[in-house]
Amino acid sequence: MVGAAQLGPIARDESRSTVVQRLLQLLREGASAGCDLVVFPELALTTFFPRWYLEDEDEKNWFYETEMPGPDTQPLFDEARRLGVGFCLGYAELTADGGRNNVYLLVDGTGATVAKFHKVHIPGHGGYEPDRPFQHLERYYFDEGQEGFTAWPAFDGLVGMALCNDRRWPETYREMGLQGVEMVLIGYNTPLYYAPDPTQNALASFHNHLVMQAGAYQNGTWVVGVAKGGTEEGVESLAQSAIYAPSGQIVAQAVTIGDELIVARCDLDLCQDYKETLFNFGLYRRPEVYGRITGQKGVIRPSATTRLDD
């Protein structure tokens, strides 16, 4: 049994210990519901601070963890061990050598860390943009993760992680699909207003489901999508956390925009229905004609004069 522990807003001045109390409540709910794993969203310990341009180092650093577990987060690890329930936690990490990472951490039911993921696709912008109603400065606050996507042996299966914008890219799922992933955990903070193209605002929910349903189906994997939703410091964010089956179907979905646990019994054997048939990679994929996918970054349009007989 897996739980998606959606969070409602976290205030800018909310202390770590208060947030951890909210997480503990959801972890305990998960334990009562029979969960083996409870998944929290991206940046689950603080407000989504990339909406502000902060120059003062101390003010900025307040939002990052320098140790995990630290004094405020240790109770989560202790409770996981006591309950025998694992968890996945998103937070901002500041390393000893100054690295700034958007991290997802997978912890098992003994309280031991199984895996750590660094967000790969860092969206938004890197400098202050005065015309926006609020900023999306992830490219100012976070380094791009270099390790890529891994399927980790955990929870009696192969578990992968991705964070927010990663979920929009098909390469995210396929990289893990090629390792046989059976469950992909994805936390997100998605503002409902998208400054570069507000025509997309009304489609936020559609796009959210579209990418995770497609990722699940095309790779024969479960996907657990977990939001920090609701109106946080004046900015409305998408909720609608959901659990997607390898068929691409939604098997559970949050109905509120606040703290809410949804659960689903995820039979990992169902993945084989898709991995061994339509998406039998070993039989049907044609990597020899997919060279551009890793060999090229941006679009290179064919020249207007290119003809079949050139």
- Contact positions vs ligand CDT (CB under 6 A): 42, 123-124, 136, 164-165, 168, 188-190
**Closer residue to ligand CDT, CB minimum distance, 119 or 275:** 119
**Residue of 35, 60, 88, 119 marked active site:** 119
Closest residue to ligand CDT, judged by C-beta, is 164
**204-231 burial, b for 16+ CB within 10 Å, e for fewer?**
beeebbebbbebbbbbbbbbbbbbbbbe
DSSP string computed for 238-300: ----EEE-TTS-EEEE--SSSSEEEEE---TTHHHHHHTTTT-HHHH--GGG-HHHHH-SS--
**Residue of 164, 228, 260, 275 marked active site:** 164
- Chain-centre distance of CA 207, in angstroms? 15
Cβ of residue 189: shortest distance to ligand CDT, in angstroms? 4
In the block, which residue shows the tokens 């860092």?
Answer: 122
Distance, in Å, from the CA atom of 79 to the CA atom of 85, rounded to the nearest integer, reads 8
**Closer residue to ligand CDT, CB minimum distance, 6 or 189:** 189
Cβ of residue 27: shortest distance to ligand CDT, in angstroms? 23
Q: Do 264 and 243 form a contact (C-beta atoms < 8 A)?
A: yes
**Closer residue to ligand CDT, CB minimum distance, 82 or 121:** 121
Cβ of residue 242: shortest distance to ligand CDT, in angstroms? 15
- Chain-centre distance of CA 303, in angstroms? 38
**Closer residue to ligand CDT, CB minimum distance, 146 or 306:** 146
Cβ of residue 123: shortest distance to ligand CDT, in angstroms? 4
Cβ of residue 128: shortest distance to ligand CDT, in angstroms? 15
Strand 2-6 and strand 157-163: pairing? unpaired
42 is catalytic: yes
State the CB neighbour count (10 A cutoff) for residue 237.
Answer: 23
**Closer residue to ligand CDT, CB minimum distance, 84 or 133:** 133
164 is catalytic: yes
Nearest CA-CA partner of 90 in 181, 200, 188, 223: 188
Q: In a 10 Å sphere around its CB, with 0-12 CB exposed, 13-18 middle and 19+ buried, how is residue 234 labelled?
A: exposed
Q: Which residues are catalytic?
A: 42, 119, 164
